[in-house]
Amino acid sequence: MNSETGTLFLHPDRNLALELVRATEAAAIRAVPFIGKGDKLGADGAAVDAMRKFLGTVDFDGLVVIGEGEKDNAPMLFNGEFVGTGRGPACDIAVDPIDGTSLTAAGRQNAISMIAVSDRGTMLDASTVFYMQKIVTGAEGIGVVDIRQPVGENIRALAKAKGKLVEEIVVAVLDRPRHEQLIADIRATGAGTRLMLDGDVAGGINAALYGTRIDMCVGIGGSPEGVATACAIKAIGGLIQTILYPKTDLEKQKGLDAGLRFDEVYDADTLVRSDNTFFVATGVTDGGLVNGVKRLGPIIRTESIVLRSHSGTIRRVTADHLAEKWLG
C-alpha cells in the first residue's frame, strides 16, 4: 500500500513501458556525440546520466538488480540503486545504458540502450558471476535444443524443427578468441555464422523473433545481458538456456555464497520468475534489431522496440524529437 496515494500497486502495468522508453531514448540520444570518437567511457557516462535522470521521473519503485559497468570500471547505475519516484509498482530492473559501448566508440552497428523490468524479487541476481554460456532460439527450439548437447546436434535438431536445411541455418556468436572452436564446430555442420563484435542481447532477441535472418544465438557472454534477454524472450515466446561460467575459483565461490548454482541450466523462468516482464531498447547505432539515432534537420529520430510478456506484444516505436530541446 502506498502511504501517499492509498493505492495498492501489485505489478508493473502497460503504461510503464512508454515511460521507460523515454529513458532509453534519452540515453541513446546523449550517446550520439560519442559515436566513432573512440571514447567508450565518455559514451557510457553520457548515457548513464541521461538514463538516470529520466528514470527519476517515472512513477515506479525500481531496484537495480543488474547494473552496468562493474566489469570494466565504467560509469554505472549501480546494483542496489533505487530509481523512480517510489510511487508505483515495485520492480526489479536490469539496465544497460549502452549495450555495445565499444561498438559506439568505434562507430559500428548494433549498439542499443536497454532496460528490462520484472516484478520485485523475481530477477536472478547473477552479479557475482560475470559470464554465462547461452543458447537462444525461437519457439521452434523449445523441447528440441539443449545447451548441454554439442552445438552440431542442436543445429541439426533446430533445422528439422524449422523445416530448413542445415545449410540455411544462421547462428549468431560473439567474435571472441574463446569461441574459436565453437565457430569451427558451427561451420563444420554446414550452417553459417553471424559474428558479433559486441551486444549479444540484440543477437539473442533476433534469434527468437519471427522473420529475422538469425536462427540461433550461442556462446559465452555477460550474465547481466542473459537475464535482460530472458525478459525479452518471455514476451517473444522463444527459448533461452544458460549455464553460469565463472572464470576463477574465487568468482565461483562468490557465486556459491550468493546462492547461485553451477550445475543448473537456468531458463527463462528461472532467470526471471515473473510472467509480467518488459524489455525496452532504443537503437544507438543502426542494427538488425532497431535503427540508430538520426539527425534529420531540426529533428532527432529514434527507433525503439518494446516487449511485454503479459500481453505477448512486440511494439516498435519511432519518435521524432525537436533537436533544440537536446542542445546544450
pLDDT tens digits for 58-103? 999 999 998 864 544 545 677 888 899 998 899 999 999 999 899 9
Instruction: Evaluate whether 70 touches 96 at the Cβ level (below 8 Å).
Output: no
Residue 239: domain span: 131-271
- Summarised one tens digit per residue, pLDDT across range 222-280 is 998 999 999 999 999 999 999 999 999 999 999 999 999 999 999 999 999 999 999 99
Residue 178 labeled ligand binder? yes
Question: Do 67 and 152 have their domain in common?
Answer: no
Residue 100 labeled ligand binder? yes
pLDDT value, residue 13 = 62
Does the pTM surpass 0.85? The reply is: yes
Q: Are strands 170-174 and 216-222 parallel, antiparallel or unpaired?
A: parallel
What kind and span of H or E run contains 204? helix 200-208
Residue 13 labeled ligand binder? no
pLDDT value, residue 250 = 96
pLDDT value, residue 318 = 97
Question: Do 207 and 142 have their domain in common?
Answer: yes
Instruction: Average the pLDDT over 151-163 and give the result.
Output: 98
Question: Do 189 and 96 have their domain in common?
Answer: no
Question: Do 259 and 286 have their domain in common?
Answer: no
Q: Which domain CATH number covers 52?
A: 3.30.540.10
Question: Do 254 and 319 have their domain in common?
Answer: no
Residue 101 labeled ligand binder? yes
Question: Do 196 and 113 have their domain in common?
Answer: no
Question: Do 246 and 307 have their domain in common?
Answer: no
Query: What are the grid coordinates assigned to 275, written together?
Result: 510472467
For the chain, percent of residues with pLDDT exceeding 90: 77
pLDDT value, residue 326 = 85
Unique residue bearing C-alpha cell 534469434: 207
Query: What are the grid coordinates assigned to 328, written together?
Result: 546544450
pLDDT value, residue 245 = 97
Residue 4 labeled ligand binder? no
Question: Do 138 and 251 have their domain in common?
Answer: yes
Half-sphere exposure of 190 (CA within 13 A, CB side): 8
Boundary (domain end) residue, out of 271, 288, 307: 271
Residue 176 labeled ligand binder? yes
Question: Do 257 and 282 have their domain in common?
Answer: no
Domain count, the chain: 2
Asked if the structure places residue 306 within a domain, the reply is: yes
Question: Do 116 and 29 have their domain in common?
Answer: yes
pLDDT value, residue 69 = 47
Asked if the structure places residue 9 within a domain, the reply is: no
Residue 49 labeled ligand binder? no
Asked if the structure places residue 6 within a domain, the reply is: no
pLDDT band at residue 7 using 50, 70 and 90 as cut-offs: very low
Asked if the structure places residue 249 within a domain, the reply is: yes
Instruction: Evaluate whether 137 touches 238 at the Cβ level (below 8 Å).
Output: yes
Asked if the structure places residue 163 within a domain, the reply is: yes
Question: Do 267 and 135 have their domain in common?
Answer: yes
Asked if the structure places residue 5 within a domain, the reply is: no
